[in-house]
Amino acid sequence: MALQPAALAEADATAESSGGPNHLWLRLLRSPLTLSGLVIVLIFVVLAVIAPWVSPYDPSAVSDSTLVGPSASHWLGTTQNGQDILSQMLYGARASMFVGIGAAVLTTLLSVLVGVTAGYIGGIGDELLSLLANVFLVLPSLPLTIILAAYLPHSGSLGIILVITVTGWAWGARVLRAQTLSLRKRDFVEAARATGERTWRIILKDILPNQVAVIAASFLGTVTGAILTQASLAFLGLADVTQWSWGTILYWAQTGSALLTGAWWWFVPAGLAIAVLGTALSLVNFGIDEFINPRLRQAGIGTKKAQRGQVSAKRVRRVKRRGPAVRRPAAAPFTQDSTDVVLDVRNLRVEYVGEGGRTPAVSDVSFTLRRGEVLGIAGESGSGKSTLAYAITRLHKPPAEISQGEIHYTKPDGSTVDVLAMDDTELREFRWEELSIVFQSAMHALNPVLRIGAQIEDVIVAHRPGMNAPERAARVIELLGIVGIPADRANSYPHELSGGMRQRAMIAVGLALDPEIIVMDEPTTALDVVIQRQIIEKIMELKDRLGFSVVFITHDLSLLIELSDTIAVMYGGKVVEMAAADDFYRRPQHPYSRGLLASFPTLGGPKRELTGIAGSPPDLRRLPSGCAFRPRCPHAFDACAAQVPQLYRIGAPGGGSSLAACLLHTDASPDQAADPAADPASDPKTDTAAAAGAGDPHSETTPNELATGETR
């Protein structure tokens, strides 16, 4: 109907880029350190180039004014023989820079050639080249340099360049080989291969550009190293001391006992020049990664990985005696009429604080979790579902911040605690004891160097200091049995278990302290369907037996409908629909929910029409005005742009009700305290809304109506 072409083409979501400067130079200018480093290096290069024309004297010319300090005629003073030190410095810059850059070019070329070839071809060629590099790497480089230099006493700068190259290429080659090995396995290299690209072009276009940062860093490092080596060799008299370089200045200063005679001007400029150039090159080095990599460190929304804090089962120092544990009432099956609330979340708002301001990832989310209930939270990437999970458990890390809202937890004995007001100790006890978390990637959440049994035991040690070793061991075996891991697997390391077994082990860790609530963040997403089914059935069986409540977060709506009692659908950081799973499946109320349900291919019954949803999920940093789903919504009308819809309660003909945040339902009663912004009278689509509320919803207004109709 009102499908907008822009939305269809997915063009809207990222139409304007996130504001990264497009010009490399502009990007560079933003980093003052890199810029100043670059300026200093450039000054040195320019001085070296123009030295013959700007030098006031011939650097070797002797004069009568011997060993005078800096003066108007000799800015940097003179040597024992009356030679002008400024001229020597300028000419010296030529030699030092020539050696530095020359050696760096040769070394880098050699290491790129050897490293990338070895890494890309692999096999026997790789082994030979690596062996060669390793031999050069273990040779002590300074003695080697001295010996080699001794054989080439008067060959000038070129000889020194060769010496530095021979002793210096191996390190870079090794690093580049390792990098090439990992790049070669990346999908984009395989993609290039599958398009039929030639090998040398893959190396040139795919491998090398991704190594520029390393190559440049090694180049700059070699420049510094070569200048230092040249200076050392010259200072030791192992280079041609008649050719002016900073090293030879130091050599002559030392020979002329400059330090003893107090002629500081003789050696300080050369030393300073080396130090300053070295520092400047390091500064350039710092900024080079940012300069080259198009994916700038973006302020704002952190990556999932950054948010994903490790749950530490650190030992609790303070032993807190728990009173006689209040056993929760026998696991009564959950019903929708239950009012036994365990977790009450009110108006929760979580923001990411970045340079560009505050980005709300979760805004105004409210729900209650009742004892024994499975609450499913569905959402796509960027919907805020994982942020919500982390906020509930207070595992969110900066830049995420809970800026508003309340979370209350009710203990089995009936007392209620404010989760957001807990201090660290209380929080540690709350997690695991009352509420535990099972993450998506068991491999990352389990410690790879600890046996499974030990990791489960760790949690018990931390929280049940009264338990002795045999009791703990028995509990570990019991827990493994509960989740269906054979007891002998307690001594396995995580990598020795299959994905499904690891996920079971995570669940065992989560169950270790008999918590009231388990938050599961995509616990089965990485698993195959058959294994997923095993895990889900295990979770459901345990829930019925042990009577805990579950918050289950996933993007897989069909899975969620099967296992949840209640479903909350998130979009753009908000809950857009919440209903009992059955009601939700039979009568989805929000256009987004309907679109989602019509995106899943089915196995049962006749094939139905799949419509999907046009466009792509929104970027939280640039949410559309009004309803976040508006650009993709087939029913959007004018008011949707102006007004953020609140949750409306929609009654179902056969009892039960849903909450949906959609202006199509403005005539239904608002769920929360009246929101003055939501005035149904101003709604131009009241007719539609009326139809929607009258129990015969959307029959004519919803092209992507589900086949599952309204009748029971």
Of 148 and 389, nearer to another protein (C-beta) is 389
The reply to whether 646 sits near another protein by the rule CB under 8 A is no
Residue type at 432 in one-letter notation? W
In three-state form (DSSP H/G/I as H, E/B as E, the rest C), the secondary structure along 603-662 is CCCCCCCCCCCCCCCCCHHHCCCCCCCHHHCCCCCHHHHHCCCCCEEEECCCCCEEEECC
Q: Strand order in 400-410's β-sheet?
A: 357-370, 341-354, 400-410, 416-418
The reply to whether 7 sits near another protein by the rule CB under 8 A is no
| Dist. CA 501–CA 490, nearest whole Å | 11
Q: Which of residues 243-302 bind another protein (CB under 8 A)?
A: 292-295
The reply to whether 427 sits near another protein by the rule CB under 8 A is no
The reply to whether 488 sits near another protein by the rule CB under 8 A is no
Of 25 and 188, nearer to another protein (C-beta) is 188
Angle between the N-to-C axes of helices 156-184 and 141-151, in degrees from 0 to 180, rounded to the nearest 10: 140
Of 172 and 500, nearer to another protein (C-beta) is 500
Q: Which of residues 29-48 bind another protein (CB under 8 A)?
A: none
Of 333 and 601, nearer to another protein (C-beta) is 601
Of 462 and 507, nearer to another protein (C-beta) is 507
Apex 388 CA angle, 386 and 393, nearest 5: 100
Cβ(641)–Cβ(653) below 8 Å: no
The reply to whether 655 sits near another protein by the rule CB under 8 A is no
Per CB under 8 A, which region of 24-32, 120-128, 198-206, 488-496 contacts another protein?
A: 198-206
Residue type at 492 in one-letter notation? S
In three-state form (DSSP H/G/I as H, E/B as E, the rest C), the secondary structure along 568-606 is EEEECCEEEEEEEHHHHHHCCCCHHHHHHHCCCCCCCCC
Angle between the N-to-C axes of helices 246-255 and 85-121, in degrees from 0 to 180, rounded to the nearest 10: 130
Structure tokens belonging to residue 302: 């952190």
Kindly state the smallest distance separating residue 15's Cβ from another protein, in Å. Answer: 6
The reply to whether 117 sits near another protein by the rule CB under 8 A is no
Q: In which region does residue 564 sit, left (phi positive, over 0), alpha (psi from -120 to 50) or beta (all else)?
A: beta
Kindly state the smallest distance separating residue 131's Cβ from another protein, in Å. Answer: 19
**Residue from 58, 126, 197, 406 that binds another protein (CB under 8 A)?**
197
The reply to whether 669 sits near another protein by the rule CB under 8 A is no
Cβ(668)–Cβ(680) below 8 Å: no
The reply to whether 123 sits near another protein by the rule CB under 8 A is no
The reply to whether 326 sits near another protein by the rule CB under 8 A is no
Per CB under 8 A, which region of 37-45, 316-324, 610-618, 663-671 contacts another protein?
A: 610-618
DSSP class of residue 82? -
Kindly state the smallest distance separating residue 500's Cβ from another protein, in Å. Answer: 7
The reply to whether 8 sits near another protein by the rule CB under 8 A is yes
Per CB under 8 A, which region of 34-42, 43-51, 196-204, 675-683 contacts another protein?
A: 196-204
The reply to whether 181 sits near another protein by the rule CB under 8 A is no
Neighbours of 24 (CB within 10 A): 11
Per CB under 8 A, which region of 62-70, 167-175, 348-356, 615-623 contacts another protein?
A: 615-623
Neighbours of 670 (CB within 10 A): 17
Q: Which of residues 528-557 bind another protein (CB under 8 A)?
A: 528-534, 536-537, 555-557
Q: Is the dihedral of CA 212, 215, 218, 219 positive or negative?
A: negative
DSSP class of residue 330? P
The reply to whether 586 sits near another protein by the rule CB under 8 A is yes
Per CB under 8 A, which region of 121-129, 208-216, 229-237, 346-354 contacts another protein?
A: 208-216
Structure tokens belonging to residue 479: 């827990």
x/- track of binding to another protein for residues 372-411 (CB under 8 A): --------xx------------------------------
x/- track of binding to another protein for residues 451-480 (CB under 8 A): ------------------------------
Residue type at 459 in one-letter notation? V
Of 11 and 694, nearer to another protein (C-beta) is 11
Kindly state the smallest distance separating residue 306's Cβ from another protein, in Å. Answer: 15
The reply to whether 614 sits near another protein by the rule CB under 8 A is yes
Q: Measured in Å, how far apart are the chain's first and last C-alpha atoms?
A: 28
Of 286 and 600, nearer to another protein (C-beta) is 600
Neighbours of 639 (CB within 10 A): 19
Cβ(442)–Cβ(506) below 8 Å: yes
x/- track of binding to another protein for residues 587-606 (CB under 8 A): --------xx--xxxxxxxx
